[in-house]
Amino acid sequence: MTALTSLTIGAALELMRAGEISALALTEAHLARIEALDGAIGAYLTVTAELARSQAEAADRARAAGEDKPLMGVPIALKDVLSTTGIETTCGSKILKGYKPVFDATAVARLHEAGAVLLGKLNMDEFAMGSSTENSGYQLTRNPWNLERVPGGSSGGSAAAVSANMALASLGSDTGGSIRQPAAFCGLSAIKPSYGRVSRYGLIAYGSSFDQTGPLARDVEDVARILGVIAGHDPLDSTSMPAAVPDYVAGLEGDITGVRIGLPAEYFAEGLQPEVEAAVRAAAAQFEALGAEVSEVSLRHAEYCLPAYYIIAMAEASANLARYDGVRFGARVEGADLIDGYKKTRGAGFGDEVKRRIMLGTYALSAGYYDAYYGKAQAVRTLIRREFDALFAEVDALLAPVAPTTAFAFGEAMEDPLRMILADVLTISANLAGICGLSVPCGFDGAGLPIGMQLLGAPFTEARLLRLGAAYQRATEWHLRAPDLA
């Protein structure tokens, strides 16, 4: 039998339903692997071993009584940006050290309702600000394919845990590529849902008009299983759309003959690692072989995505992070008076990257600069959204690289904030426009590092993207490879 920690969710559910393995045995196997490997990987900030065992035992009792749920007994882990009742939730920041929410995020509550088992909380760039997980206030997370390389960010812990078989799947958050890029760096499948598809309630905010929660897993089918559980309208989130949620798993078998796929010329520009471009173009040829129609298209406003995104995102970060003052929750540094306490708490609690983004965002929102920066960026965002709308009238999906390069070495981009920002240059447009994006493995570079492609679709067309991704994975084997961590 395949090692329990190497199973897909679908395979694990089959074995549990057949009585060949128990949820407790599956959970114990994952806890043992975390114990053995996470000292080297650094994916987990908190391991909830006793909770996981009790949830697994409850799943086994319920299954024995004839009950069945979509994720019953499946061990999953969560990015530490999602609120969990009574479990420390830090956002990778020292300013939230010791903070234990009194409620679950809606996505987390839906996982519990579906019978999932929570293994723990995962490392991340502080407040999701970064592309390598080097900005965590606690520890480095290493890429299981090469321990000297970053796992991507900001959901680096979410990607590393699944890639190293320390969870069957995980949840991350994507503000500008933070699900898709680490999935690509670690050889996983993952989706950034359309804005409004998954509730943001309990997802601690970085950029409120960008943030979305989504799953990372071994293959597209597992991604579809989890998305089907966490998606759907939530009255607790005013931005949650009351749109019907399709049966994503049932839709995976559909034919892709005649599906129109566009290759945006601007996403294959100078600076792209040659092996990345070759792999994505080979994927385009594979889609043609499967019956899709592939053509070149253009996004004329692509060059404006990066500046528009960072102005708006930093402005939203400035507003959202104003609440961390040491008074109501998290860490506190005493001062001579209230204002001095604020300054000392925020000075000690926030890392350099978070401080940088707060200051830039505050500047962009300040009197005399608001119209020139924030207002102009919002106008550009509207143009970008309209251009995507026009493109999706011509094609059904876009195909592009996820990142310009494969996983880079630790320290390579830390001294150059602009270089780190450019790691997101191919992903941020989806967040600006509120569209959905699926990351799928499509090859390896000469150093043995995974390469990821992304399929982008119009809002609420996740089912089509998943069908395309599943068709590609039925025809290829990139997603079946795993890092050697012996």
Q: pLDDT tens track of the chain, all 486 residues? A: 569 999 999 999 999 999 999 999 999 999 999 999 999 999 999 999 999 999 999 999 999 999 999 999 999 999 999 999 999 999 999 999 999 999 999 999 999 999 999 999 999 999 999 999 999 999 999 999 999 999 999 999 999 999 999 999 999 999 999 999 999 999 999 999 999 999 999 999 999 999 999 999 999 999 999 999 999 999 999 999 999 999 999 999 989 999 999 999 999 988 899 999 999 999 999 999 999 999 999 999 999 999 999 999 999 999 999 999 989 888 899 999 999 999 999 999 999 999 999 999 999 999 989 999 999 999 999 999 999 999 999 999 999 999 999 999 999 888 777 778 788 999 999 999 999 999 999 999 999 999 999 999 999 999 999 999 999 999 999 999 999 997
Please count the residues of the chain.
486
- Strands of 305-407 (E only): list them: 397-401
Give catalytic status of residue 344 as yes or no.
Answer: no
- Assess whether the previous peptide bond of 154 is cis (omega < 30° from 0): yes
Number of other CB atoms surrounding residue 47 within 10 Å: 19
Do 367 and 110 meet the contact criterion of CB atoms below 8 Å apart? no
pLDDT (0 to 100) of residue 329: 85
DSSP result, 117-152 = EEEEEE--SGGG--SSSTT-SS----BTTBTTB---
Contacts of residue 222, Cβ cutoff 8 Å, sequence gap at least 6: 8, 9, 10, 168, 169, 189, 215
Q: Please report, for residues 180, 325, 404, the alpha-carbon distance to residue 421 in angstroms, rounded to integers and kept in the order given.
A: 15, 27, 12
- C-alpha–C-alpha distance, residues 407 and 435, integer Å: 25
- C-alpha–C-alpha distance, residues 5 and 168, integer Å: 7
Strand 212-217's sheet: what is its strand order? 44-47, 117-122, 75-79, 169-174, 212-217, 189-192, 436-444, 450-457, 397-401, 260-264, 293-297
Give catalytic status of residue 178 as yes or no.
Answer: yes
pLDDT (0 to 100) of residue 2: 65
Tokens matching residue 460: 């609420």
- C-alpha–C-alpha distance, residues 414 and 136, integer Å: 12
User: Which is catalytic among the residues 22, 83, 154, 240?
Assistant: 154
- Assess whether the previous peptide bond of 194 is cis (omega < 30° from 0): no
Give catalytic status of residue 54 as yes or no.
Answer: no
- C-alpha–C-alpha distance, residues 433 and 231, integer Å: 19
Q: Please report, for residues 43, 79, 152, 159, the alpha-carbon distance to residue 133 in angstroms, rounded to integers and kept in the order given.
A: 10, 12, 6, 11
The secondary structure element, H or E, covering residue 231 is none
What is the domain partition of the chain in residue ranges? 4-262+394-480
68-86 burial string, b = 16+ CB within 10 Å, else e?
ebbbbbbbbbbbbbbbbee
User: Which is catalytic among the residues 136, 178, 189, 240?
Assistant: 178
> Which parts of 215-273 fold into alpha helices (H)?
220-230
Tokens matching residue 164: 């190293």
Tokens matching residue 245: 């949620």
| Chain CA centroid to CA 469, Å | 17
| Chain CA centroid to CA 282, Å | 25
Q: Match domain 4-262+394-480 to its CATH number in 3.40.605.10, 3.30.360.10, 3.40.50.1100, 3.90.1300.10.
A: 3.90.1300.10
Angle at 231 between CA 424 and CA 465, to 5 degrees: 55
Do 10 and 72 meet the contact criterion of CB atoms below 8 Å apart? no
20 residue type, one letter: E
pTM of the model: 0.97
pLDDT (0 to 100) of residue 486: 75
Do 353 and 134 meet the contact criterion of CB atoms below 8 Å apart? no
- C-alpha–C-alpha distance, residues 154 and 124, integer Å: 5
